[in-house]
Amino acid sequence: MTARAASTVLVGRQPELAGLREALGRARAGDPVTVLVGGEAGVGKTRLLEEFGAHATGDGARLLIGQCLELGEAGLPFAPFAAALRDVLRHDGPAAFAGYEAEFARLLPELARVPAGAAAPAGLPVSDTPRGYLFDLVADLFRRIAEERPLVLLIEDLHWADRSTRDLIGFLVRAARATRLLLVCTYRTDELHRGHPLRPFLAELDRARGVDRIELGRLDRDGTAAILADLLGAEPAARAVDDVHGRTQGNPFFIEELAAAGDPVGCAVLPETLRDLLLARVDRLPEPAQRVLRIAAAGGTRFAHQLLAEVAGLPEAELEDALRAAVAGQLVVADPDGDYEFRHALFREAVHDDLLPGEHARLHARYAAAIEAQPHLVAAGRAPAEIAHHWYAAHDHPRALIAARAAAAAAADRYAYAEQSRLLERVLELWELVPDAGDRLGMDHLRVLEETLAAATTAGDYNRALTLTRAGLAEVDSGAEPLRAAGLLHRRGRLLALLGKSDGTAEVGEAYRLATGVPDTSERMRLLADIAAHLVKIDPAQAAAVADEAMAAAEAVGEDVALLPTRIALLCRTDQAPDLGLSELRRAEALARATGNAPALVSALVYLSDVLYELGRYAESEEAAEAGVSEARRVGISRSTGAYLLSNRAEALIALGRWDEADAACAEAARIDPPGVSGLHWLQLRAGLRLARAHPAADELVGRALAFLARPYLWPNHRLPLRELRIEAALAADDKVAALAASRAALADERLVDLPREGWPVLSAVARAAALVGDAALAAEASAVAAVLPARYPAELAHAAQVTAILTGVEFTADAPVAPADQVGAAVEGGGVAVERRGGPAQRPGEALPAWREAVAQWRAVGQPYPLGRALLALAEAAAAAGEREEVAGAVREAAEIATRLGAAPLGEQAATLARRVGLRGAGRPGPDLLTSREQEVLRLVAEGHSNSRIAERLFISPKTASVHVSRIIAKLDVTNRVEAAALAHRLGLLDPTPPATPAQRRGR
């Protein structure tokens, strides 16, 4: 992937940009204002000023820019002012200097070649012009420029300013008090060592009136992700963001350098240009300080003084002098606790990479030995991992093997499963390098593989876990250890399904065969439970049989079946329980809490939040999911089981109309980056959310979500929402061909009629597509599915009522009749909602009104604002066709309010368009008709299918006038052609029941 060298977006600087704009406003009002912008090198000061400068000039201000040069006190005096005055000379000419060219020549030498309007005072040569007089001239020049329009003077890199430049800035700030002048100066905070001359100067300026400070900090992780997305031209993987953010610590320049070096994830080696830049700072230090920095770099980005002293073996005074030089050079930062930290992780990386091979091994061995002897020298709980890291870096393989295994066990105790997985991978790596590894660890190689597989799965690294199952199955003897082989097979089948590679039934079936006939044990009971949980989405009948066997095994070994994930899963999907097993779930939750079984508790909360959502108890669903998110985070399973809780919470928040919170929950899921299909739910939800809000990134998210349909396998409850999303995306883009194709693909899905929760939203989208396109055959298919699709729970009933209303009000063209019968209907099982479809070329005005009233009532009872807003607009259309103007006004007003509250811009636009079409004004109050009486006459004839020439003949006007009327009608109704105008007129009842008399008829009266 090729990246641009520099980002074009300003990320994470909105507060600072707002502060500069506010300062400009004060300067415009006549107050002298100075803003000092500080930040470390590469943090984005120049980028911020570029953005502000563009705003200032666009707002009518004059912009002058100067830059200090890296020449120190011996450099060119007044360099930034010379650059600013050169811009004045180039744009305004010598006249801008009002005859004082000779005096200004001290700042701008080229002015000495311009005939001066006046000599220097008292006959002094140019070089001897008094500084105070010169400063007055500069201030007066800026004052005159600012009289025409506000002046913004930007001076960059003040840390390199010479004494003369600082004096002139101080004069402008404290003495000149020029009005309508905004002075902005930038400086690097990491250059300000203790004796830097800018330190006291900034302290003096802070005491002056009208001086503000802005400190630019490093970007957070989201800021790093935004810059990478802009540089790479695509959204980066979450792990790439984590890697780059960890190495750069949010410094924009470092982010750009790593991205430009290639794939950020694969960029393990620092780019040469960046390494040279970083090491140049180190080379400025005295040699003892450089030597101590090299020792410290082997210890990590953060290091304790006592540990460094143990490893360095230097006298305390010598060590402190070296550290003092590193701190003064802004390479190391000290904290009050006595620890130190490299200012940037990349500084440490560059110094560490510069170590000689022997030096590298010796230093790491000394660190390992020191921490083994005194574990308290590192943070509590970190000693095992630190020891393992240093022995590995020292290439002491036997010690590294034992230390890595011990560190992995310690990581598991802290729920740090990703770290455990990495450490166990190191054990596998070292196994081949240590001949007696099995004896040293007291376990066989297959056991290490199984532990690594479990850790990788729990950490959410499913691709690596799948590879480990293949390695494990190659080693296991299924005849001698059938349960061990069955466990590996089940894990493999589950991982294949989670990654969308297959449904895993072949592997799971073989696992069940191997587990059959094995004596009942806790291990067998749990394996059967897991097998049933896998089968529940594929073959519910077989899943129920295996679940019964698992529960019998649980009773045999004395295990409480309420803790079985299979039992929970089956209860959630049973058709016999009206509460979807809610009481059993509550019991499982309580038991898991009482026994401290965190994985069982998280699993119970996943199912509990899901069931509560299906029952329409959205607030309780959100609370259960939020509790589960906290628990999953606590025990380190956020990327595996816990990933479903984040998306469940987002789903409940969307239903509650708390869309900003839902988007934030989806953003958190994106940061966690759940693997495989476990990351699909949040992606599909956020794509739908952004589609409903017309977000600029909606298409990209929709594309990413729909790409999952190309996988060889998806569970039906994952696949069907994507079918709905594809239809919604096509409808949002007004792509009728794509909407029809997506609708037919959805109706062809063999699991559509088995899953009412997912099926009804799909059917609603299909019905809308049929109504938009006027496809009678598609409407008939939707009606047939609706007749057999159960509707028992609130949202399902509301969707059923909506489908009824849509199909009731569909108008079909004459060449696409629905069926010979006038009406085809079917009662929806359990819901009592009649789904019917009416055929013929047109419907009577208001025919769908009762059905839409029922749909609105159902959605109002459910409490989901967005589908309620959609239904209200449809109700308003039906009411308009029936002439119920007061009902139209109320429905449109409420829909508009919902759209505003949710930020659903398309819904708001549709409400505004409908209000305009039916002649509403203000807050939905009836107003004057949209069309004039003559335009209504023309529209009636258009609806009857007459051409412009025929309309002209009927109304005794010219064809050109008729064409103008038709164009105005199309524009007022916000449609694209006369056919749509005619259809809209029928649908909204824009034509009077009795046509007005033609001129000929009026003459004949």
User: Can you say whether residue 25 is alpha, beta or left, with left for phi > 0 and alpha for psi between -120 and 50 degrees?
Assistant: alpha
Classify 235 as helix, strand or coil: coil
In angstroms, the CA 549 to CA 544 distance is: 9
Are 31 and 179 in contact, with CB atoms under 8 Å apart? yes
Residues 6 or more apart from 575 whose CB is under 8 A from it? none
Residues 438-452 have pLDDT tens digits of 999 999 999 999 999
Instruction: Report the candidate in 249, 85, 73 with the shortest Cα–Cα distance to residue 166.
Output: 73
Classify 814 as helix, strand or coil: coil
Element (H, E) at 612: helix 598-614
Two tokens, residue 738? 């794509």
Predicted pLDDT at 996:
44
Distances (CA, A) of 89 to 110, 117, 865, 941: 10, 15, 62, 69
Phi first, then psi, for residue 172 (nearest 5°) are -65, -35
> Low-confidence residues of the chain, pLDDT below 50?
1-2, 116-128, 266, 812-845, 923-928, 994-1005
Angle at 839 between CA 833 and CA 842, to 5 degrees: 115
Q: How many helices (H) and strands (E) does the chain have?
A: 48, 12
Element (H, E) at 304: strand 302-304
Half-sphere exposure of 423 (CA within 13 A, CB side): 28
Residues 6 or more apart from 542 whose CB is under 8 A from it? 535
Two tokens, residue 745? 């693909």
Instruction: Report the candidate in 637, 645, 635, 684 with the shortest Cα–Cα distance to residue 665.
Output: 645
In angstroms, the CA 253 to CA 840 distance is: 66
Tokens 């801008």 locate to: 96
Two tokens, residue 879? 């009411």
Angle at 359 between CA 355 and CA 364, to 5 degrees: 100
Are 515 and 528 in contact, with CB atoms under 8 Å apart? yes
In angstroms, the CA 644 to CA 606 distance is: 7
Residues 391-441 have pLDDT tens digits of 999 999 999 999 999 999 999 998 889 899 999 999 999 999 999 999 999
Rg of the chain's alpha carbons, rounded to an integer? 37
In angstroms, the CA 665 to CA 648 distance is: 9
Are 293 and 285 in contact, with CB atoms under 8 Å apart? yes
In angstroms, the CA 470 to CA 473 distance is: 5
Instruction: Report the candidate in 810, 878, 879 with the shortest Cα–Cα distance to residue 840.
Output: 810
Is the whole model's pTM more than 0.85, yes or no? no
Two tokens, residue 789? 């699709």
Phi first, then psi, for residue 340 (nearest 5°) are -130, 160
Angle at 278 between CA 275 and CA 284, to 5 degrees: 130
Measure CA 202 to chain center.
39
User: What DSSP string describes 893-928?
Assistant: HHHHHHHHHHT-HHHHHHHHHHHHHTTEETTTEE-S
Residues 6 or more apart from 485 whose CB is under 8 A from it? 473, 476, 477, 478, 511, 514
Instruction: Report the candidate in 757, 760, 786, 789 with the shortest Cα–Cα distance to residue 614.
Output: 757
